[in-house]
Homo-oligomer: A and B are copies of this chain.
Amino acid sequence: MSHNTFGHLFRVTTWGESHGPAIGCVVDGCPPGIALDETRIQPFLDARRPGTSRFVTQRREADAVRILSGTFDAGAGAVTTGTPIALMIENTDQRSGDYAGIAAQYRPGHADFTYDAKYGVRDPRGGGRSSARETACRVAAGAVARAVLAHSLGEGVAIRGALVAIGGDGIDRAAWDWVETTRNPFWCPDAAAAARWERALDAARKAGSSLGAVVEVRAQGIPAGLGAPVYGKLDAELAGALMSINAVKGVEIGEGFAAAALRGEDNADAMRAGAQGPVFASNHAGGILGGISTGAEIVARFAVKPTSSILTPVPSLDREGREIEVRTTGRHDPCVGIRAAPVGEAMMACVLADALLRARGQGAPRGL
């Protein structure tokens, strides 16, 4: 309900601006007794961190997360206590001066104009609240969500993301290799595509341009029965979660938009009897039917628009309504989609943790 809160029983409230003293979040509703300390969160922040390759913003921050509440160590390692978990990340590399010149400008593709239209006031430093820096909190909260899922469903749960296209150049799905996503700076599961993307991104940056991307996130090990009918559909929750990530313009589940071009018999996922229950012969549904998980892998994709901050000048307005041209210099990712992969994973983890707690609350599915 709150504009800055996500989830129902597993709830994440984030706060903070790009250039304030810190950003953070409060994770409320986490069950008690789950092992949690900073070492279980920091690796996910490190993976998302800026400055790790020449393809992401050169802003350098340690992004060190601190747990301020909600855990207690009675001697056997810190565990969650069921009370709210406050996480904080200090902003250490702010360089507010970089942005002083554009405080009075509306950067095309950014939220400058709309924040002003809505609030009449905004923090212009680095985009303020609209900065993608907020997503660091999502990644931190996602790490807590992963701990919840692993605690309840076992270590077989895996939530992973990969870029499947940059600038319209898609991967060869036959070459998909999860290990490869850790070897290149693009979370790309196809080594050949990664090599092409490297060249494309270098060219785009040289041209003062930017590229969009498509990210795919998948969850393995999720049992059938999570989600709910009607407005609490698991796919509806995922769609809202993924669309809330900065720069995302589209979300799809399973076959997605391609399903609209299929015939009924080609889109059907045949069910067969497996050793541990029903098995689906295909997964056009992306693991969700009627808003409820089927037990198959949950598959979602989202489209990230090209970075709006580009060197190429774009006609725009200033706050007084005068026509200007905006040309953005400074530290910016040539493809913001690259850093969106861990954020998409985190949102999927949060949605699933929330769905798990909600399902339990309603006494279903059986056995959970």
8 additional A-B pairs beyond A2-B29, A212-B259, beta carbons within 8 Å, are A15-B84, A168-B261, A210-B264, A235-B244, A240-B243, A249-B255, A260-B303, A273-B322
In the bound complex, what is the Cα–Cα distance between A5 and B360 (angstroms)?
A: 19
A48 at the interface (CB under 8 A from B): no
Q: How far is the CA of A321 from the CA of B277 in the complex (A)?
A: 8
Collect the chain B residues with CB atoms within 8 Å of residue A257's CB.
214, 249-250, 252, 257, 303
Q: Interface-forming stretch among A38-46, A104-112, A175-183, A190-198? A: A104-112
Integer count of this chain's copies in the complex:
4
Q: Could you give, for residues 272-315 of chain A, a 1 whenever the CB lies within 8 Å of some chain B CB and a 0 otherwise?
A: 11000110010011101111111100000001111111101011
> Does A52 touch B at the CB level, under 8 Å?
no
**Stretch in A54-62, A74-82, A153-161 touching the partner:** A74-82
Complex CA gap A165/B257 in Å reads 11
The residue that A240 contacts in the complex, of B14, B213, B236, B310, with Cβ under 8 A, is B236
Does A23 sit at the interface, judged by CB under 8 A?
yes
Interface size class of A (residues with CB under 8 A): 35 or more
* Docked-complex contact A229 and B20, CB < 8 angstroms: no
- Residue in B11, B165, B168, B259 whose beta carbon sits within 8 Å of that of A1 in the complex: B11
- How far in angstroms is the closest Cβ of chain B from A27? 9
Interface pairs A-B: 4 shortest CB-CB: A111-B290, A361-B361, A168-B261, A240-B240
| Chain B residues with CB under 8 A of A359 | 118
Contact pick for A213, options B9, B168, B260, CB 8 Å: B260
Q: How far is the CA of A82 from the CA of B122 in the complex (A)?
A: 8
Is A271 part of the binding interface, using a Cβ–Cβ cutoff of 8 Å? yes
**Chain B residues, Cβ within 8 Å of A262:** 168, 212, 305-306
Residues of B with C-beta under 8 A to A66: 21
A123 within 8 A of partner (CB):
yes
A230 at the interface (CB under 8 A from B): yes
Q: Which residue of B lies closest to A247 (CB)?
A: B259
Residues of B contacting A314 with CB < 8 Å? 265, 268, 270
Residues of B within 8 A of A165 (CB): 260-261
Query: Cβ of B117 and Cβ of A292 under 8 Å apart?
Result: yes
A237-260 vs B, CB cutoff 8 Å, 1 = contact: the mask equals 111111110101111111111111
- Min CB distance, A8 to chain B, in Å? 5
Q: List residues of chain B with CB within 8 A of the CB of A265.
A: 209, 310, 312, 314
Q: A24-B86, A243-B239, A362-B29 are in contact. Are A305 and B231 (CB under 8 A)?
A: no
